[in-house]
Structure 1
Amino acid sequence: MAVASGMEYLHDRGIFHGLLNSKNVAIIFDEGKNPSGTWNLCRVAVTDYGLPFLRRNFELMPDVQARHAAWLPPEVLLGDEAKMEGDSWSYGIILWELLTGFVPWPGKARDDLTALARKGQLILPLSLQDNYEQPPGYCEVMNDCMRRETQDRPSMRRVLERFRDLSRSWGGDYLPG
């Protein structure tokens, strides 16, 4: 939930990441107690926001897009400008990575992903027979983040609210990104 919380913080201030992916989620290990007296094990930080927008004519630089193509939402792959709703898509990809332990679309270049997006087939595989252990509601939030239409994706605030509600029933067993 820390990534969602960080993204909500940015979005509330009118800042979107544009290239959110697991490569720019930092885990910082702490020692000692925090001010509330509980032990800190680690903190999670979203990094590199703003850096992707070293722009030319208000478009993401091609070399930046190529390195992060697997996390780009379909609309960006198809040439639209990055927006906040794209961060929700990218967060859904991170949730998929956390669930499966795999890298999204291995071996696929940006052009391959663009072709899939053009056909409406930019869908990550996840089937019941894969037998991933998942907390109730996790896949629903993940799938909602990766809706094809931007207006159908939840805001990061809504994602965080849903995970907070769901986590009450999970106990301490699951802590999604």
Structure 2
Amino acid sequence: MKHHTFLSSKSTAGTPEWMAPEVLRNEPANEKCDVYSFGVILWELVTLRIPWKGLNPMQVVGAVGFQNRRLEIPEDVDPTVAQIIRECWQTEPHLRPSFAQLMSQLRRLQRL
């Protein structure tokens, strides 16, 4: 399903529903921004929902980038997966896991 929510600036382009808060604020970006986006994709996979449905792109920018809001994780989501998502969505990028750490966590889940 294609969304018409493409956001672009001199330094950034993409869809705000999947962007890290610091990217939405046009701050420096690194791998940890991709970790945040991965958390949104993981949320989509476990909820089968569209992120921020009902909000327009500018509302998403305000909610995520400036009000520090995050998507709601339903209570029926596996607690380990919910924790991984929350870690990906840490406000401070340096607190988010690396992709190597995420792979380790996901491999452990695979063995359960």
Q: Please give the range of the TM-score, normalised by the shorter of the 2 chains.
A: 0.7 to 0.9
Amino acid paired to 1:88: V
Whole-angstrom distance in 2 between the partners of 1:167 and 1:83: 28
| CA distances 1:125-171 after superposition (whole Å, capped 9, x unpaired) | 1232xx34x3x5111111111111101100001000111122212xx
1:120 corresponds in structure 2 to 68
2:91 corresponds to 1:143: no
Whole-angstrom distance in 2 between the partners of 1:79 and 1:107: 24
Whole-angstrom distance in 2 between the partners of 1:119 and 1:81: 19
Q: Does structure 2 retain, via aligned residues, the 8 Å contact 1:88–1:153?
A: yes
When Rg is computed on C-alpha atoms for both structures, the one with the higher figure is 1
Question: Unpaired segments of 5 or more residues in structure 1?
Answer: 1-22, 24-54, 170-177
1:78 corresponds in structure 2 to 25
Q: Does structure 1 retain, via aligned residues, the 8 Å contact 2:73–2:82?
A: no
Alignment equivalent of 1:96, drawn from 8, 18, 43: 43
1:87 corresponds in structure 2 to 34
The structure 1 segments of at least 4 consecutive aligned residues displaced by more than 3 Å after TM superposition are none
Counterparts in 2 of 1:51-62, with a 5 A limit?
A: 56=10, 59-60=11-12
Identity %: 28
2:55 corresponds in structure 1 to 108
2:97 corresponds to 1:167: no
Whole-angstrom distance in 2 between the partners of 1:119 and 1:138: 24
- TM-score under structure 1 length normalisation: 0.54
Q: Count residues in correspondence.
A: 105
- TM-score under structure 2 length normalisation: 0.82
Amino acid paired to 1:89: Y
Whole-angstrom distance in 2 between the partners of 1:111 and 1:83: 23
Partner of 1:137: helix, strand, or coil?
Answer: helix
CA RMSD of aligned residues (A): 2.1
